[in-house]
Amino acid sequence: MSSFVAKLVSGALPLFGGLTLEQTNGNLTSWQGLPDSAPPVLGTDSIQHIVKREEQAYEGNTVYQTTPHTGVTRKYHFDVTRTFLSPDGYRKPVIAINNQVPGPLIEANWGDWIEVTVTNSIEGPADGTAIHWHGLLQRETPWFDGVPG
């Protein structure tokens, strides 16, 4: 009985006959933000001395001219695959990143470097991939902005 209750509370068993989170969106455990081993984010005492935002004056056209340097590189690995999930309640083929839809959250501070390694593991039929990085300025690397073609 306790095993049944534990599965029900954890979401492994749906309460009203619906689908579990695993069935609808895949492996969302890696979508929960940065791991504890990641460098601290702004707002914590241990990093405040690295970046002083008040020194960055905004004059209407200088947003990207002066960028703070945190010395932090956030590294992510995306494995693109075909799988079956039920995002709207009906099982269907999807293209997933790290076996989840939506893909993993990229979390960083202004001034951090972001390094993403993308592995195309799509098979049968093989297909190309392109990822558009919404909100990520492709300064000096516009060819990595994920426009297919």
Rounded percentage of the chain residues whose pLDDT exceeds 70: 52
d(CA 5, CA 49): 47
Which residue, 26, 37, 41, 138, is CA-closest to 84? 26
Contacts by 123-128, CB closer than 8 A, 24 or more apart: 123/82, 124/82, 127/95
pLDDT tens figures, 88-102: 888 899 999 999 888
pLDDT at 132: 81
Domain ranges in the chain? 22-125
- CATH top-level class of 22-125: mainly beta
Q: Which helix (H) or strand (E) holds 140?
A: none
pLDDT at 16: 57
**Of 47 and 129, which is predicted with more confidence?**
129
pLDDT at 76: 92
Virtual CA dihedral for 85, 12, 102, 32, nearest 10 degrees? Answer: -160
* Contact between residue 98 and residue 104 where contact means Cβ atoms under 8 Å apart: yes
* Confidence band for 21, pLDDT divided at 50, 70 and 90: low
pLDDT tens figures, 64-77: 666 778 899 999 99
